[in-house]
Structure 1
């Protein structure tokens, strides 16, 4: 019924089977955002970084959502380049959609692209907090998170295959 829960992530030497982001010890209700779009003050350091260099936050979020490929740097540079021509919100909006699909979150308060078009900094902060509240630490990268979860013996939740819906 469920697809294989491991995904091959390329490494410098060989492919390693890695789990999806592990659940946080304080379970966040499935299908609900753990914080609101305008709750940026809940993580002041990330809010500060995102206000002055949103490409860092987008890169960190993208690396966790995409399970390490592409890296934080590559995603951040793509966002920066698209932002220079006024289209960064399109790239960032796709990651909000991926995050929502990963955790079955509602498209709130409006569509993903519209949220990023109007409130990109707030949206990036919310996505970063969501990953942190669900057990991932975007600031340390994908590989370090996998090692942390392996060391703690955490198991990853099943992930629905693309195209499946409830």
Structure 2
């Protein structure tokens, strides 16, 4: 999402995204249970296979060439808008991932996002499996996260839309006879 800066320029970096990542890293360093907590006993299996990363082909190709784009897209879908409104492929999450990748530490943001998705949608897994998949094959992990977020967010939207939204009724007084 682009945000207007104080001088009127449009910025590709959303300060809220940047602050969100800083807060997540700080929380993990001060309270390791935020990333080491295992899945709940009632956790669901992942809807998408780890090795299902070759389909769809366009996502596979984009992620293999520029994993930061898929990484940022997933973050946007999960944390900003499930319908991808105001999404721009170069965003704070994408640039942060690129910075970590330049240092050979691409697995760190991938791991944090994987933990976040696993916890958000109550999925099977634990800290070690999240770390292993983030280190073993970053592209497969990012694609699985992206596909999982898309499926789960559609499910959430369907549940909300099925119930519908009813405007709260005003207060009514019963007449006594």
Q: TM-score category by the smaller chain?
A: 0.5 to 0.7
Whichever of the two has the greater Rg, that structure is 2
Alignment match, 1:54:
67
Q: TM-score, normalising length from structure 2?
A: 0.56
Whole-angstrom distance in 2 between the partners of 1:59 and 1:76: 5
Aligned partner of 1:100 in structure 2 is 118
- Report the CA distance between 1:135 and its aligned residue: 3.7
Answer 1 or 2: higher relative contact order, Cα 8 Å, separation at least 6: 1
| 1:39 and 2:52 correspond | yes
Structure 1 stretches (4+) deviating beyond 4 angstroms? none
Can you give the 5+ residue segments of structure 1 that lack an aligned partner in the other structure? 1-10, 13-29, 137-148, 157-166
Q: Report the equivalent of 1:85.
A: 103
Partner of 2:161: 153
Verify the 8 A CA contact 1:56 1:76 in the aligned structure 2: yes
- Higher-helix-fraction structure: 2
Unaligned runs of 5+ in 2: 5-42, 82-87, 165-177
Equivalent residues of 1:37, 1:126 under 8 A apart: yes
Change (3 A) 1:154 1:76: farther
Q: 2:151 corresponds to which residue?
A: 133
